[in-house]
């Protein structure tokens, strides 16, 4: 007979992982390099007007680079075509499916797709 806390523990375990990313994804974000210094590669000549132009050019490029990265981040953050939904007639049927598929430990509503694939033995690499 299953422990009466199994479902609650599975929900808590699922809630601990952020939706839309695995723990590894979050860790990678936290350890990511900071934004690059746009002035790091400026070669100074000692000529104030020339150095100012070089700095301005580098700053403009830094803003263009950042805008490009931000556009990609926005695209990824607003892309809604990365999830699926599976429906059952009853909550009991859903929970039975999750238990029998050994997915309940991942969550009961929102789950990391890679963890589901791994649990179900679905390869995610290109063949």
The residues, ordered by sequence, that sit 6+ positions from 87 with a Cβ below 8 Å of its Cβ are none
Predicted confidence at residue 6, as pLDDT, reads: 63
Report if pTM > 0.85. Answer: no
Rounded to whole angstroms, the Cα distance separating 6 from 9 reads: 5
Predicted confidence at residue 18, as pLDDT, reads: 46
Predicted confidence at residue 17, as pLDDT, reads: 46
What tokens does 95 get? Answer: 């929970």
Q: Per-residue confidence of the chain (127 residues) as pLDDT tens digits? A: 556 566 555 555 554 444 455 677 777 777 877 888 999 999 999 999 999 999 999 999 999 999 998 998 888 878 888 888 999 999 999 999 999 999 999 999 999 999 999 999 999 987 6
Largest Cα span, the chain: 81
Predicted confidence at residue 1, as pLDDT, reads: 56
Predicted confidence at residue 14, as pLDDT, reads: 52
């Amino acid at each position: 007979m299953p422990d009466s806390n199994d479902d609650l523990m599975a929900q808590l375990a699922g809630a601990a992982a952020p939706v839309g990313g695995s723990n590894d994804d979050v860790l990678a974000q936290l350890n990511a390099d900071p934004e690059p210094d746009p002035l790091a590669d400026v070669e100074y000549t000692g000529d104030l007007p020339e150095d100012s132009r070089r700095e301005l050019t580098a700053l403009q490029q830094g803003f263009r680079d950042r805008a490009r990265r931000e556009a990609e981040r926005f695209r990824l953050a607003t892309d809604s075509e990365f999830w699926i939904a599976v429906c059952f007639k009853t909550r009991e049927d859903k929970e039975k499916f999750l238990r029998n598929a050994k997915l309940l430990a991942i969550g009961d509503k929102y789950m990391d797709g890679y963890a589901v694939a791994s649990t179900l033995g679905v390869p995610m690499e290109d063949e």
